[in-house]
Amino acid sequence: MTTVDFTSFLEPKSVAIVGASRSPGKPGYLVISNLKANEYPGKIYPVNPQAQEIMGYKAYPSVADLPEVPDVAVILVPASATIEAVRDCVRKGIKAAVIESGGYTEVNERGAKLERELLQSAEKGRMRIIGPNTSGVISTPGRFVTTFYPLGKVRRGSVAYLAQTGNFATHTMRWILSAENFGVSRVVGLGNKCDVDDADVVEYFGADPDTRVICMYIEGFKDGKRFVEAARQVSREKPVIALVGGVTASGSKAVVSHTASLGASNPALIEGVLRQAGVVSIHRYTDLIDSAKALVFQPLPAGGRVGVIVPSGGMGVLAADTCVRLGLTLAELSQSTLKKLQDVSQPWIRIGNPVDIWSAIQNHSLEEGYRVAMEALLGDPGIDSLVAILVLTTDNPPPNLDFIPRFREKYPGKPVLIGVSGDKASFDLAKKTLESQSVPVYLPVEGACEALATMYRCSLSMQRGKHTRD
Protein backbone atom coordinates (compact mmCIF):
# COMPACT_ATOMS: atom_id res chain seq x y z
CA MET A 1 0.00 0.00 0.00
CA THR A 2 0.97 3.63 -0.44
CA THR A 3 2.20 5.77 2.45
CA VAL A 4 -0.62 7.25 4.51
CA ASP A 5 -1.23 10.89 3.63
CA PHE A 6 -2.71 12.13 6.87
CA THR A 7 -3.08 15.62 5.44
CA SER A 8 -5.90 14.24 3.32
CA PHE A 9 -7.49 12.62 6.37
CA LEU A 10 -7.02 15.41 8.91
CA GLU A 11 -6.53 18.69 7.05
CA PRO A 12 -8.27 18.18 3.71
CA LYS A 13 -9.20 21.07 1.45
CA SER A 14 -12.32 19.27 0.26
CA VAL A 15 -14.55 16.40 1.40
CA ALA A 16 -17.26 14.27 -0.16
CA ILE A 17 -20.01 13.09 2.19
CA VAL A 18 -21.21 9.86 0.56
CA GLY A 19 -24.57 9.14 2.14
CA ALA A 20 -25.37 12.75 3.06
CA SER A 21 -28.87 13.23 4.43
CA ARG A 22 -31.47 15.98 4.71
CA SER A 23 -32.95 14.40 7.86
CA PRO A 24 -31.80 15.87 11.18
CA GLY A 25 -30.40 13.18 13.45
CA LYS A 26 -29.22 10.94 10.61
CA PRO A 27 -25.46 10.31 10.39
CA GLY A 28 -25.25 11.93 6.95
CA TYR A 29 -26.81 15.09 8.37
CA LEU A 30 -24.81 15.24 11.61
CA VAL A 31 -21.44 14.98 9.86
CA ILE A 32 -22.22 18.08 7.82
CA SER A 33 -23.61 19.80 10.93
CA ASN A 34 -20.35 19.17 12.81
CA LEU A 35 -18.29 20.44 9.89
CA LYS A 36 -20.32 23.64 9.88
CA ALA A 37 -20.12 24.04 13.66
CA ASN A 38 -16.32 23.82 13.49
CA GLU A 39 -16.19 26.30 10.59
CA TYR A 40 -14.49 23.85 8.28
CA PRO A 41 -12.81 26.08 5.65
CA GLY A 42 -12.78 23.54 2.81
CA LYS A 43 -15.35 22.54 0.23
CA ILE A 44 -18.15 20.18 1.25
CA TYR A 45 -19.75 17.96 -1.40
CA PRO A 46 -22.84 16.08 -0.19
CA VAL A 47 -23.57 12.99 -2.29
CA ASN A 48 -27.25 12.00 -2.34
CA PRO A 49 -29.15 11.05 -5.53
CA GLN A 50 -32.45 12.24 -4.00
CA ALA A 51 -31.36 15.76 -2.96
CA GLN A 52 -30.58 18.98 -4.77
CA GLU A 53 -29.24 20.76 -1.70
CA ILE A 54 -28.37 19.81 1.89
CA MET A 55 -27.81 22.35 4.65
CA GLY A 56 -26.94 25.04 2.12
CA TYR A 57 -24.56 22.92 0.07
CA LYS A 58 -25.25 21.79 -3.47
CA ALA A 59 -25.79 18.03 -3.49
CA TYR A 60 -24.63 15.65 -6.20
CA PRO A 61 -26.30 12.43 -7.35
CA SER A 62 -23.02 10.48 -7.42
CA VAL A 63 -19.32 10.75 -6.75
CA ALA A 64 -18.72 10.78 -10.48
CA ASP A 65 -20.70 14.04 -10.73
CA LEU A 66 -18.50 15.97 -8.32
CA PRO A 67 -16.83 19.02 -9.91
CA GLU A 68 -13.38 18.09 -8.58
CA VAL A 69 -11.54 15.23 -6.90
CA PRO A 70 -12.01 15.68 -3.13
CA ASP A 71 -9.10 15.04 -0.80
CA VAL A 72 -11.17 12.61 1.28
CA ALA A 73 -14.49 10.81 1.21
CA VAL A 74 -16.55 10.13 4.31
CA ILE A 75 -18.67 7.06 3.55
CA LEU A 76 -21.89 6.64 5.54
CA VAL A 77 -23.96 4.33 3.37
CA PRO A 78 -24.99 0.86 4.67
CA ALA A 79 -22.35 -1.86 4.55
CA SER A 80 -24.04 -3.53 1.56
CA ALA A 81 -23.54 -0.36 -0.50
CA THR A 82 -19.98 0.44 0.52
CA ILE A 83 -18.24 -1.66 -2.14
CA GLU A 84 -19.82 0.35 -4.91
CA ALA A 85 -19.18 3.59 -3.02
CA VAL A 86 -15.48 2.76 -2.65
CA ARG A 87 -15.24 1.80 -6.32
CA ASP A 88 -16.88 5.10 -7.29
CA CYS A 89 -14.32 6.96 -5.18
CA VAL A 90 -11.45 5.00 -6.72
CA ARG A 91 -12.69 5.76 -10.24
CA LYS A 92 -12.90 9.44 -9.30
CA GLY A 93 -9.31 9.37 -8.07
CA ILE A 94 -9.97 9.94 -4.37
CA LYS A 95 -7.02 8.69 -2.30
CA ALA A 96 -8.45 8.69 1.24
CA ALA A 97 -11.71 7.36 2.69
CA VAL A 98 -13.17 7.26 6.19
CA ILE A 99 -15.73 4.43 6.26
CA GLU A 100 -18.02 4.96 9.23
CA SER A 101 -20.69 2.34 8.58
CA GLY A 102 -20.66 -0.95 10.50
CA GLY A 103 -21.56 -4.49 9.51
CA TYR A 104 -18.23 -6.05 8.58
CA THR A 105 -15.79 -8.43 10.27
CA GLU A 106 -17.20 -7.52 13.68
CA VAL A 107 -20.54 -9.10 12.67
CA ASN A 108 -19.95 -12.36 10.79
CA GLU A 109 -18.01 -14.06 7.99
CA ARG A 110 -20.15 -12.41 5.35
CA GLY A 111 -19.14 -9.03 6.78
CA ALA A 112 -15.51 -10.15 6.88
CA LYS A 113 -15.66 -11.01 3.19
CA LEU A 114 -17.15 -7.61 2.44
CA GLU A 115 -14.34 -5.92 4.38
CA ARG A 116 -11.71 -7.82 2.39
CA GLU A 117 -13.37 -6.73 -0.83
CA LEU A 118 -13.36 -3.12 0.35
CA LEU A 119 -9.63 -3.27 0.93
CA GLN A 120 -8.95 -4.96 -2.41
CA SER A 121 -10.93 -2.27 -4.25
CA ALA A 122 -9.08 0.47 -2.39
CA GLU A 123 -5.68 -1.06 -3.08
CA LYS A 124 -6.35 -1.08 -6.80
CA GLY A 125 -6.82 2.68 -6.69
CA ARG A 126 -4.02 3.31 -4.17
CA MET A 127 -6.62 4.58 -1.74
CA ARG A 128 -6.08 4.44 2.02
CA ILE A 129 -8.95 3.64 4.41
CA ILE A 130 -9.64 4.54 8.04
CA GLY A 131 -12.23 2.10 9.35
CA PRO A 132 -14.63 0.63 8.62
CA ASN A 133 -16.89 0.64 11.68
CA THR A 134 -15.52 3.92 13.00
CA SER A 135 -16.99 7.14 14.33
CA GLY A 136 -14.53 9.07 12.21
CA VAL A 137 -11.85 11.63 12.86
CA ILE A 138 -11.47 14.98 14.60
CA SER A 139 -8.79 17.49 13.69
CA THR A 140 -9.06 20.85 15.44
CA PRO A 141 -6.10 22.41 13.56
CA GLY A 142 -7.92 21.52 10.34
CA ARG A 143 -11.34 22.35 11.83
CA PHE A 144 -12.37 18.98 10.43
CA VAL A 145 -14.85 16.81 12.36
CA THR A 146 -16.45 13.81 10.65
CA THR A 147 -18.19 12.15 13.59
CA PHE A 148 -21.90 11.37 13.30
CA TYR A 149 -22.55 12.43 16.91
CA PRO A 150 -23.77 15.98 17.71
CA LEU A 151 -20.61 17.58 19.09
CA GLY A 152 -20.76 21.17 17.97
CA LYS A 153 -17.54 23.16 18.26
CA VAL A 154 -14.62 21.03 19.46
CA ARG A 155 -12.14 22.83 21.71
CA ARG A 156 -8.61 22.94 20.37
CA GLY A 157 -5.74 21.62 22.48
CA SER A 158 -2.67 19.42 22.29
CA VAL A 159 -3.92 15.96 23.38
CA ALA A 160 -4.35 13.40 20.60
CA TYR A 161 -6.43 10.24 20.91
CA LEU A 162 -5.97 7.06 18.92
CA ALA A 163 -9.07 5.02 19.71
CA GLN A 164 -10.25 1.62 18.60
CA THR A 165 -13.70 2.64 19.76
CA GLY A 166 -16.22 5.24 18.70
CA ASN A 167 -16.40 6.67 22.20
CA PHE A 168 -13.70 9.28 21.92
CA ALA A 169 -15.06 10.95 18.83
CA THR A 170 -18.61 10.90 20.22
CA HIS A 171 -19.96 10.85 23.78
CA THR A 172 -16.59 10.84 25.57
CA MET A 173 -15.62 13.90 23.55
CA ARG A 174 -18.91 15.46 24.60
CA TRP A 175 -17.92 14.84 28.23
CA ILE A 176 -14.47 16.37 27.71
CA LEU A 177 -16.03 19.44 26.10
CA SER A 178 -18.63 19.92 28.83
CA ALA A 179 -16.88 18.74 32.01
CA GLU A 180 -13.15 19.21 31.39
CA ASN A 181 -10.98 22.21 30.56
CA PHE A 182 -8.44 20.84 28.10
CA GLY A 183 -8.76 20.46 24.36
CA VAL A 184 -7.69 18.00 21.68
CA SER A 185 -5.54 18.22 18.60
CA ARG A 186 -6.62 15.06 16.79
CA VAL A 187 -8.83 12.02 17.33
CA VAL A 188 -8.56 9.05 15.00
CA GLY A 189 -11.11 6.27 15.39
CA LEU A 190 -9.50 3.13 13.99
CA GLY A 191 -12.59 0.92 13.96
CA ASN A 192 -11.76 -2.44 12.40
CA LYS A 193 -8.49 -0.98 11.02
CA CYS A 194 -8.62 -2.97 7.82
CA ASP A 195 -5.94 -0.65 6.45
CA VAL A 196 -4.62 2.33 8.48
CA ASP A 197 -3.52 0.98 11.87
CA ASP A 198 -2.03 1.91 15.24
CA ALA A 199 1.54 2.22 13.99
CA ASP A 200 0.53 4.56 11.16
CA VAL A 201 -1.32 6.90 13.50
CA VAL A 202 1.33 6.86 16.25
CA GLU A 203 3.98 7.80 13.70
CA TYR A 204 1.86 10.70 12.52
CA PHE A 205 1.09 11.92 16.04
CA GLY A 206 4.79 11.75 16.87
CA ALA A 207 5.65 14.15 14.06
CA ASP A 208 2.58 16.35 14.55
CA PRO A 209 3.59 19.77 15.96
CA ASP A 210 0.05 20.29 17.27
CA THR A 211 0.22 17.19 19.51
CA ARG A 212 2.08 17.08 22.83
CA VAL A 213 0.43 14.08 24.52
CA ILE A 214 -0.73 10.82 22.90
CA CYS A 215 -3.46 8.66 24.43
CA MET A 216 -4.51 5.29 23.05
CA TYR A 217 -7.35 2.85 23.52
CA ILE A 218 -6.66 -0.36 21.61
CA GLU A 219 -8.06 -3.87 21.47
CA GLY A 220 -5.13 -5.68 19.94
CA PHE A 221 -2.23 -5.03 17.56
CA LYS A 222 -2.42 -5.58 13.84
CA ASP A 223 1.37 -5.79 13.62
CA GLY A 224 2.99 -5.78 17.05
CA LYS A 225 6.56 -5.57 15.75
CA ARG A 226 5.85 -2.56 13.58
CA PHE A 227 3.95 -0.86 16.40
CA VAL A 228 6.93 -1.29 18.73
CA GLU A 229 9.27 0.19 16.15
CA ALA A 230 7.03 3.21 15.55
CA ALA A 231 6.04 3.87 19.17
CA ARG A 232 9.58 3.45 20.51
CA GLN A 233 10.69 6.46 18.47
CA VAL A 234 7.69 8.57 19.41
CA SER A 235 7.73 7.80 23.15
CA ARG A 236 11.25 9.22 23.40
CA GLU A 237 9.87 12.66 22.56
CA LYS A 238 6.28 12.70 23.81
CA PRO A 239 4.32 10.99 26.59
CA VAL A 240 2.36 8.02 25.19
CA ILE A 241 -0.19 6.22 27.36
CA ALA A 242 -2.41 3.29 26.45
CA LEU A 243 -5.45 1.48 27.77
CA VAL A 244 -5.82 -2.01 26.31
CA GLY A 245 -9.23 -3.66 26.18
CA GLY A 246 -9.79 -7.40 26.09
CA VAL A 247 -7.21 -8.54 28.65
CA THR A 248 -9.60 -11.07 30.20
CA ALA A 249 -11.36 -13.99 28.55
CA SER A 250 -14.72 -12.21 28.74
CA GLY A 251 -13.24 -8.93 27.53
CA SER A 252 -11.51 -10.66 24.64
CA LYS A 253 -14.80 -12.24 23.60
CA ALA A 254 -16.46 -8.81 23.66
CA VAL A 255 -13.64 -7.40 21.51
CA VAL A 256 -14.44 -9.84 18.71
CA SER A 257 -18.00 -8.54 18.49
CA HIS A 258 -16.84 -4.93 18.75
CA THR A 259 -14.00 -4.51 16.25
CA ALA A 260 -13.12 -8.12 15.38
CA SER A 261 -9.59 -7.73 16.73
CA LEU A 262 -7.82 -10.77 18.09
CA GLY A 263 -7.84 -9.01 21.42
CA ALA A 264 -5.21 -8.93 24.12
CA SER A 265 -6.19 -11.91 26.25
CA ASN A 266 -2.53 -12.47 27.24
CA PRO A 267 -1.90 -9.53 29.62
CA ALA A 268 1.79 -10.34 30.05
CA LEU A 269 2.32 -10.34 26.29
CA ILE A 270 0.53 -7.04 25.73
CA GLU A 271 2.35 -5.44 28.66
CA GLY A 272 5.63 -6.59 27.13
CA VAL A 273 4.76 -5.00 23.78
CA LEU A 274 3.92 -1.70 25.46
CA ARG A 275 7.05 -1.77 27.59
CA GLN A 276 9.26 -2.40 24.55
CA ALA A 277 7.54 0.52 22.83
CA GLY A 278 8.04 2.88 25.77
CA VAL A 279 4.27 3.24 26.12
CA VAL A 280 2.89 3.64 29.64
CA SER A 281 -0.04 1.33 30.31
CA ILE A 282 -3.07 2.58 32.23
CA HIS A 283 -5.91 0.48 33.55
CA ARG A 284 -9.09 2.55 33.72
CA TYR A 285 -11.11 4.31 31.06
CA THR A 286 -11.16 7.53 33.10
CA ASP A 287 -7.34 7.51 33.13
CA LEU A 288 -7.49 8.48 29.47
CA ILE A 289 -8.98 11.78 30.65
CA ASP A 290 -7.46 12.23 34.11
CA SER A 291 -3.90 11.45 33.03
CA ALA A 292 -4.22 13.39 29.78
CA LYS A 293 -4.99 16.66 31.51
CA ALA A 294 -2.18 16.19 34.02
CA LEU A 295 0.30 15.50 31.22
CA VAL A 296 -0.75 18.51 29.16
CA PHE A 297 -1.16 20.96 32.07
CA GLN A 298 1.95 20.20 34.14
CA PRO A 299 5.63 19.37 33.59
CA LEU A 300 6.81 15.80 33.98
CA PRO A 301 8.40 15.14 37.39
CA ALA A 302 12.15 14.67 37.49
CA GLY A 303 11.77 11.86 40.03
CA GLY A 304 9.26 9.89 42.04
CA ARG A 305 9.53 11.67 45.42
CA VAL A 306 6.17 13.24 46.23
CA GLY A 307 4.94 15.59 48.93
CA VAL A 308 1.29 15.25 49.97
CA ILE A 309 -0.98 17.70 51.81
CA VAL A 310 -4.31 16.49 53.18
CA PRO A 311 -7.07 17.92 55.41
CA SER A 312 -7.41 14.73 57.50
CA GLY A 313 -5.36 11.82 58.71
CA GLY A 314 -7.52 9.24 56.94
CA MET A 315 -7.02 10.89 53.59
CA GLY A 316 -3.29 10.94 54.31
CA VAL A 317 -3.26 7.19 54.88
CA LEU A 318 -5.14 6.52 51.64
CA ALA A 319 -2.98 8.92 49.66
CA ALA A 320 0.17 7.29 51.02
CA ASP A 321 -1.11 3.83 50.14
CA THR A 322 -2.02 4.92 46.62
CA CYS A 323 1.30 6.63 45.94
CA VAL A 324 3.43 3.75 47.17
CA ARG A 325 1.29 1.12 45.44
CA LEU A 326 1.80 2.95 42.13
CA GLY A 327 5.57 3.33 42.41
CA LEU A 328 5.90 6.80 43.92
CA THR A 329 7.90 7.49 47.07
CA LEU A 330 6.73 9.64 49.96
CA ALA A 331 9.55 12.14 50.29
CA GLU A 332 11.52 12.52 53.51
CA LEU A 333 11.08 16.14 54.58
CA SER A 334 14.15 18.19 55.46
CA GLN A 335 14.52 19.73 58.90
CA SER A 336 14.01 23.17 57.38
CA THR A 337 10.73 22.07 55.81
CA LEU A 338 9.53 20.43 59.01
CA LYS A 339 10.22 23.66 60.94
CA LYS A 340 8.27 25.78 58.43
CA LEU A 341 5.31 23.46 58.74
CA GLN A 342 5.52 23.27 62.51
CA ASP A 343 5.64 27.06 62.78
CA VAL A 344 2.20 27.42 61.19
CA SER A 345 0.64 24.44 62.97
CA GLN A 346 -0.57 23.95 66.52
CA PRO A 347 2.18 22.66 68.82
CA TRP A 348 0.55 19.31 69.50
CA ILE A 349 0.42 18.29 65.81
CA ARG A 350 2.99 15.77 64.60
CA ILE A 351 4.37 16.89 61.26
CA GLY A 352 5.21 14.33 58.59
CA ASN A 353 4.53 13.48 54.98
CA PRO A 354 1.60 13.41 54.20
CA VAL A 355 1.10 16.79 55.90
CA ASP A 356 -2.14 17.13 57.87
CA ILE A 357 -3.02 20.76 57.17
CA TRP A 358 -6.03 21.05 59.47
CA SER A 359 -4.28 22.66 62.44
CA ALA A 360 -2.53 25.21 60.20
CA ILE A 361 -5.94 26.21 58.79
CA GLN A 362 -7.30 26.60 62.33
CA ASN A 363 -4.27 28.68 63.35
CA HIS A 364 -4.40 30.96 60.33
CA SER A 365 -6.74 30.77 57.33
CA LEU A 366 -7.37 28.16 54.69
CA GLU A 367 -5.55 30.19 52.06
CA GLU A 368 -2.57 30.99 54.31
CA GLY A 369 -2.27 27.45 55.65
CA TYR A 370 -2.17 25.86 52.22
CA ARG A 371 0.06 28.56 50.75
CA VAL A 372 2.73 28.17 53.42
CA ALA A 373 2.60 24.37 53.37
CA MET A 374 2.72 24.10 49.57
CA GLU A 375 5.59 26.61 49.42
CA ALA A 376 7.52 24.68 52.05
CA LEU A 377 7.15 21.34 50.25
CA LEU A 378 7.89 22.68 46.78
CA GLY A 379 10.99 24.44 48.10
CA ASP A 380 12.33 21.20 49.59
CA PRO A 381 15.07 19.82 47.27
CA GLY A 382 14.06 16.29 48.24
CA ILE A 383 10.61 16.64 46.65
CA ASP A 384 9.89 16.21 42.93
CA SER A 385 6.13 16.81 42.88
CA LEU A 386 3.18 17.81 45.02
CA VAL A 387 -0.35 16.53 45.58
CA ALA A 388 -2.53 18.82 47.70
CA ILE A 389 -6.11 18.01 48.69
CA LEU A 390 -8.04 21.19 49.46
CA VAL A 391 -11.08 21.26 51.71
CA LEU A 392 -13.53 23.83 50.33
CA THR A 393 -17.15 24.60 51.17
CA THR A 394 -19.64 27.37 50.51
CA ASP A 395 -19.92 28.04 54.28
CA ASN A 396 -17.02 30.46 53.90
CA PRO A 397 -16.07 32.97 51.18
CA PRO A 398 -14.12 31.16 48.44
CA PRO A 399 -10.38 31.56 48.99
CA ASN A 400 -8.19 33.14 46.36
CA LEU A 401 -6.40 30.16 44.84
CA ASP A 402 -4.30 32.12 42.35
CA PHE A 403 -1.21 31.48 44.47
CA ILE A 404 -1.27 27.84 43.32
CA PRO A 405 -0.70 28.43 39.57
CA ARG A 406 2.07 30.92 40.41
CA PHE A 407 4.13 28.07 41.88
CA ARG A 408 4.62 26.90 38.26
CA GLU A 409 6.86 29.92 37.63
CA LYS A 410 8.82 29.62 40.87
CA TYR A 411 9.22 25.81 40.74
CA PRO A 412 8.96 25.08 36.99
CA GLY A 413 10.08 21.47 37.14
CA LYS A 414 7.73 20.32 39.89
CA PRO A 415 4.18 19.33 38.93
CA VAL A 416 1.31 20.29 41.24
CA LEU A 417 -1.93 18.28 41.22
CA ILE A 418 -4.95 19.23 43.29
CA GLY A 419 -7.79 17.27 44.90
CA VAL A 420 -10.88 19.02 46.28
CA SER A 421 -13.03 17.78 49.14
CA GLY A 422 -16.13 19.60 50.36
CA ASP A 423 -19.24 20.50 48.43
CA LYS A 424 -19.93 20.23 44.72
CA ALA A 425 -20.21 23.97 44.07
CA SER A 426 -16.79 24.60 45.63
CA PHE A 427 -15.27 21.74 43.63
CA ASP A 428 -16.68 23.14 40.38
CA LEU A 429 -15.42 26.65 41.13
CA ALA A 430 -11.94 25.44 42.08
CA LYS A 431 -11.74 23.27 38.99
CA LYS A 432 -12.74 26.12 36.70
CA THR A 433 -10.36 28.56 38.39
CA LEU A 434 -7.32 26.31 38.57
CA GLU A 435 -7.64 24.38 35.31
CA SER A 436 -7.98 27.64 33.39
CA GLN A 437 -4.44 28.23 34.69
CA SER A 438 -3.19 24.70 33.88
CA VAL A 439 -3.48 23.13 37.34
CA PRO A 440 -5.42 19.82 37.12
CA VAL A 441 -8.14 19.18 39.71
CA TYR A 442 -9.53 15.82 40.86
CA LEU A 443 -11.91 14.33 43.37
CA PRO A 444 -10.07 13.00 46.44
CA VAL A 445 -8.16 10.92 47.16
CA GLU A 446 -6.76 8.62 44.54
CA GLY A 447 -7.30 10.56 41.30
CA ALA A 448 -4.46 13.06 41.63
CA CYS A 449 -2.06 10.39 42.95
CA GLU A 450 -2.88 8.04 40.07
CA ALA A 451 -2.41 10.77 37.45
CA LEU A 452 0.92 11.75 39.02
CA ALA A 453 2.09 8.12 38.96
CA THR A 454 1.33 7.97 35.23
CA MET A 455 3.31 11.18 34.72
CA TYR A 456 6.26 9.70 36.59
CA ARG A 457 6.20 6.54 34.48
CA CYS A 458 6.09 8.67 31.32
CA SER A 459 9.10 10.62 32.63
CA LEU A 460 11.03 7.38 33.23
CA SER A 461 10.13 6.11 29.75
CA MET A 462 11.32 9.30 28.08
CA GLN A 463 14.50 9.40 30.13
CA ARG A 464 15.31 5.78 29.22
CA GLY A 465 14.64 6.51 25.58
CA LYS A 466 16.95 9.49 25.55
CA HIS A 467 19.74 7.56 27.32
CA THR A 468 19.38 4.75 24.77
CA ARG A 469 19.47 7.16 21.85
CA ASP A 470 22.45 9.09 23.24
Residue 467: the pLDDT is: 57
- Please give the model's pTM, rounded to 2 decimal places: 0.93
> Which residues contact residue 18 at a Cβ distance below 8 angstroms, ignoring those fewer than 6 apart?
47, 63, 73, 74, 75, 76, 77, 85, 88, 89
Strand order in the sheet with 96-99: 43-47, 14-18, 72-75, 96-99, 128-130
Residue 385: name the closest of 446, 335, 456, 436 by CA. Answer: 456
pLDDT of res. 307: 98
Encode the chain (470 residues) as per-residue pLDDT tens digits: 678 999 999 999 999 999 999 999 999 999 999 999 999 999 999 999 999 999 999 999 999 999 999 999 999 999 999 999 999 999 999 999 999 999 898 888 988 998 999 999 999 999 999 999 999 999 999 999 999 999 999 999 999 999 988 888 999 999 999 999 999 999 999 999 999 999 999 999 999 999 999 999 988 888 889 999 999 999 999 999 999 886 554 444 444 444 444 444 566 778 888 999 999 999 999 999 999 999 999 999 999 999 999 999 999 999 999 999 999 999 999 999 999 999 988 887 889 999 999 988 888 889 999 999 999 999 999 999 999 999 999 998 889 999 999 999 999 999 999 999 999 999 999 999 999 999 999 999 999 999 999 999 999 999 986 655 54
Predicted pLDDT at 263: 47
In the chain, the domains with their CATH numbers are 6-294 (3.40.50.261), 299-465 (3.40.50.261)
Distance CA 451, CA 294 (A): 6
Long-range contacts formed by 349-357: CB under 8 A, 24+ apart: 353/307, 353/308, 353/377, 354/308, 354/309, 354/310, 354/315, 354/316, 354/319, 354/320, 354/330, 355/307, 355/308, 355/309, 355/310, 355/316, 356/310, 356/311, 356/312, 356/313, 356/316, 357/309, 357/310, 357/311
The beta strand positions in 133-176, using DSSP E, are 137-139, 144-145, 156-163
The phi, psi pair for 162, rounded to 5°, reads -110, 115
Angle of the 287-297 helix axis to the 446-469 helix axis, nearest 10: 60
Please report, for residues 81, 83, 193, 194, the alpha-carbon distance to residue 101 in angstroms, rounded to integers and kept in the order given: 10, 12, 13, 13
CA distance 214 to 203: 11
Give the Cα separation of 249 and 228 in Å (integer).
24
pLDDT in tens, 423-470: 999 999 999 999 999 999 999 999 999 999 999 999 999 998 665 554
Angle at CA 31, nearest 5°, toward 28 and 36?
A: 130
Minimal CA–CA distance to 16: which of 28, 5, 4? 28
What's the pLDDT at 247? Answer: 57
